[in-house]
Structures are given as C-alpha cells and as structure tokens.
Amino acid sequence: MGRGVGRGGSIGRRICVSIVLMSAVGPALFVTGLSYDLPKIIISLLVAEAAVALMFFLPRRVGDLSQAGKGARLLFLLWLACSLFGGYRMARLSPYMYDAADKTYAFVPKIRDLDDPDLTKPFLDRHNCFTCYAIAAHLATEGVENLYDRERYRDAEIQTEIHETIGEVLTIDTYQYPPPFLILPRLLQAMTSDFFHMRTLWFGVNLVLLAATFLAFVAWLSDWSFRAYWFVWPALLTASTMVGTLVIGNAHLFIILISLLALVAFEKRRHMLGGALLGFGVVSKLFPGVLVLYLVARRRWRAVFWTCGASAIYVIATFVMFGAKPFTAFDNYQAPRLASGEAFSFAFERLRPTMNNSSVLGIVYKFARLGLYSIESAGGIAKIVTWAFSGLLVVVAVWVGLRHGRGSPRAGLDTETSSSEMTRMWSARVWIALLVLAQLRSPFLPWGYGNVAVIWLVVMMLPPPGSYHLSAWLVVPLWALFTPTVPLFFGPLTETFDLVYTLVAAVLVVGLCLITVIRYSRAPRSSFLTEQASADVEPGVC
C-alpha cells in the first residue's frame, strides 16, 4: 500500500484520518458538551463535523478505490470495521462518563469474586483514580501539611467539598504522585469547580490526546501511507484495558502519550515543544526519565536542555502555586514510602492486587503466591530484583542511545539519509519498549493501564504489507493476551489460573521489550537506512 498510487493514497489517507478523528473527537466533544449543559449546540457541532469530514475527506469518485489491489482493499476494510467498532465503544461509554450515577452504559466487566467464584463484583464502574487528583489539588490549594496522608482521601474524617460531591457514586483513591503533577488537576479546576465536569473533561482530553498522538506517529513514520502502523488505532480502541483506563481516569495513559509526542517533536526539531511535554512527564511520574538518559546517550543536547529546563519551570510553578508544603510532605513522608514499597503495601499483602500487579515486584510476589517461596522471603527477593532491574534499565537505555548516537554528533536518526521508514519504525519500537520497561520498575503497575503501551508495541511488530515475518502471526494472540480485564471470570477456575495468566503475561512483556532492544542494537546499520522495496511498489488505498 504505497504512496505512488496517484490520488488513491491521498483519498485513503483522508478517509483514515476522518475515521480516527470522528471516533475520538466526536465522543469527546459530545460528552464534554453534555457536561456543560450544551447538548443541542454540541450535537449540531458533531453533525457539522461529520458533514465536513464526509465532504472533505471522502473521495469524489468511489472508483478511485479501484486503484488498490484486492489485498490492500481487504486490509483497509478490516481496519475500517475495527476502527468503527472502537469508535462505537467510545461513543457508548460517553453517557456514563457524563453521568457516573447512571450505570446503564458503564464498562462493568465480570470480575470474579475470589471467595465465591459464582459471584462477580463491580469495580470499574466505581473505582476512579481522578478522584485523588482533584482532592490532592484542592488540599494543596488549601495548604494542608501532608496531602499524601491516606486518611485525607477514602473515609476521611475531614471531608472536602469534592468528597461531598462524589458521595457514594465513586470510590475515592489515594494520591501518590510528585507535587508538580498537581498543576494538571489544578488547571482543570480553574476551568470548572464541579468534580464530575472535571471527570468528563479529563475523559475528553485523553481521547483527543490519544488521537493526536496516533496521527502524529503515523505522519512521522510513513508520511500517512497505509502501513501496519494504522492498526494501532483499532487495536487500542477495541481493547478492554484501554476502555477501563479511560473509565478510571488514571494519568498513566496521559503520561505515556505526551512522552511519545515529545520524542516525535524532538525528531522534527521542535525542541521546545518536546521538552515541555517530556519535562512534565518526568516530574509527574518519574519513569519517563529513562528517555532523558536515552537522549543523553544519543548526545541530543538541545532536547536534554529543553527537557531539564521545562522540568525546572514546572517545579518552580508548583512552588508558586502551592507553596513548599507539598514538597516537604513528599520528601519527608511519601518518597521514603515509595522507596520501601510501603505506599503500595496493599499490592503485596492481598491476593487480588497481587494478581493485578504487572510490575517486576508483582512477578516476585506472584511466584510467592504460587508456592515457589514464602511470602515473608518475597520482600528480600523483591529488593534484589528491583535494584537489578534498575541497573538493567540504565544499561539498556544507554546501550540503545549509544547505538543511535554512534559516529558524528548528527549520526543515527539525525541525518537525512537515516530518516527512512524502517529507521523510524525501529526507533518507535525502541521508544515504547523503553517506556514499558521503565514503568515496570514501579512497585505497583495495575494490569489495565499498564498494558496500553504494551498493546501499542505488540501491534508495531506487524511487518509492512507485502512482506512476510513470523511476528505477524504472533500479533493477534499477543493482543488477545493483553486486552482482557483481570482477574478473569472463568466460572469454576480458581485464582491460580489468574495468577499464572498474569505472571506469564508479565514475563512476556519483559522478554518482548528486551528482544525489541536487542534486535535493534544488533541489526546492521544499513538495514535501517534502506526502504523495503515492497513499500514503494505495493499498491494500496492509503
């Protein structure tokens, strides 16, 4: 499906971009408009959006699609069907994201009760991570001494107005992030004081950002031509893990997306934008810092400068907005609890969180639950594994960064010759693999949002159309492995199945990331500088 197909490529591109925008921006606008009591206006805007999309993006002559080969048309129709289904899932979710009290359209997968396998317990229709973001920003604004105190969140004796608004509709989570992250919920609070309006707006922001990141990636990777990269979109939208992530409103998806956007911006020499995005990711959730190490090894000094500068600005802005108390509480109370694992002690003490934990610490405790060693000895093993994995992460980031930066200061991806599609494809795989490995270092990485980037990496394994590779046959089963919500509901099966299922998946994630990095680092540089012939001669829709 190449670019030399006359008008077919342009027409197909317009169709694809239209579907992506309508499946993400449409539900985001609709639900945000309802939240602000503007349903008629928003519905009119959606109709106008659809009309403009149909008039501008769709082909003037349907016969233009005949330029594509049969295989290309089938691939495009498959992508179209899956994308429309993903858009339907987002649209169906919108009423619940507008009104959390109405569970009619809530995403409620069957989660097996560990005590009684015949019962199911609701979780995703009540749990909401955004609750703690809003409350933490409110507490910081009020100047409380320790906003990381768990007793200020769920079952708090002194309740804020946000507690009273939420009531029994949602379960309040506990805030765990560094102080600069508070800038984001504080900006949302500046737009609306109603928590449920903020929740709706946050849902819309993440959907639009997802579409923007995906389109930026496709444009950078293949100049809009229809490649396997396009299948990232329906693979993400149709995954239950993605739907669950959007429902609970966790910021992990947001941080992953802005980190990937930052790297694309750096490659396009937009260092200020890239630094602003990556800098916020680093000071908000720490794990994107692995990309700074990677950039240092590549000697991308402008990117490093803008990232560090933006990070410093965010820290200063947080100090100006909230004062020194959040930093004092983080340094004296939260940081030691994060380092020791005490902040996530529930993830090691109870069975269900252990199942749900996809981090390297989760792997250690899963083996303990399966009887390989005692729970008591798992703590000591976890410390050794954590530090060993941290060292491995540093080595991997530096190794792949040096591979990119080998030779002159503008070697690797910084030369015009090396900006081929194959080079960019491998770079994108390595970026995602580094982010996935870094997120595994967290004491607690829930299965749902922890697998969003994994799904992206899995789909990136697809080879260009017209070429054969064994990885193409592994994509669908791997996608199916990481998309369900867990613990799974399989009737009479015991918790052992769920432990083994998530353990195998977690080990596969580590292996997949390491294989991605090793294959990139060992491959001859010439293989990255040459476009595949099939990419230029294969006719296609997009």
Q: What is the DSSP string of 244-276?
A: HHHHHT-THHHHHHHHHHHHHHHHTT-HHHHHH
Decide if pLDDT at 470 tops 80. Answer: no
Mean pLDDT of 68-88: 77
Q: Where along the chain do its domains lie?
A: 7-108, 127-197
**DSSP assignment letter at 177:** S
> Among 99-113, 145-159, 426-440, whose mean pLDDT is lowest?
99-113
Q: Tell me: pLDDT of 9 over 60.
A: no
Q: What is the structure's pLDDT at 536?
A: 34
Q: Which residue has the higher pLDDT, 111 or 383?
A: 383
CB atoms within 10 A of CB 488: 16
User: Which two structure tokens, joined as six digits, stand for 180?
Assistant: 């600069």
What pLDDT shows up at residue 49?
Answer: 60
For residue 535, what are the CA distances in angstroms to 114, 278, 422, 430, 459?
A: 51, 32, 10, 21, 18
Q: Quote the CA–CA distance of 332 and 122 in Å, as a whole number.
A: 36
pLDDT at 492 over 80: no
Q: Which class for 463: exposed (0-12), middle (13-18), buried (19 or more C-beta within 10 A)?
A: middle
Q: Is the pLDDT of residue 344 over 60?
A: yes
pLDDT exceeds 50 at position 82: yes
Burial of 287 (0-12, 13-18, 19+ CB in 10 A): buried
For residues 304 and 295, is the Cβ–Cβ distance under 8 A?
yes
* Residue 476 pLDDT grade (very low, low, confident, very high; cuts 50, 70, 90): confident
Residue 464 has pLDDT above 80, yes or no: no
Q: Mean per-residue pLDDT for 282-290?
A: 94
Inform me whether the pLDDT recorded for 507 exceeds 90.
yes
Percentage above 90 pLDDT, the chain: 38
Q: Alpha-carbon distance 19 to 50, whole Å?
A: 10
Band (59; pLDDT cuts 50, 70, 90): very low
The residue-averaged pLDDT of 99-111 equals: 68
Minimum mean pLDDT range among 353-357, 464-468, 497-501: 464-468
In the chain, how many H helices and how many E strands?
25, 2
* Residue 82 CB contacts under 8 Å (≥ 6 apart), including other chains: 231, 234, 235, 237, 238
Q: Which amino acid is at 325?
A: K
Residue 465 pLDDT: 57
d(CA 499, CA 496): 5
Confidence (pLDDT) at 154: 84
pTM equals: 0.86
How many residues does the structure list for the chain? 542
Beta-bridge mates of residue 112: 120
Report pLDDT digits (tens) over 256-272.
999 999 999 999 999 99
Whether the bond into 353 is cis, omega within 30 of 0: no
pLDDT (0 to 100) of residue 94:
83
Backbone angles phi, psi at 357, to 5 degrees: -85, 115
Strand partners, 464: none
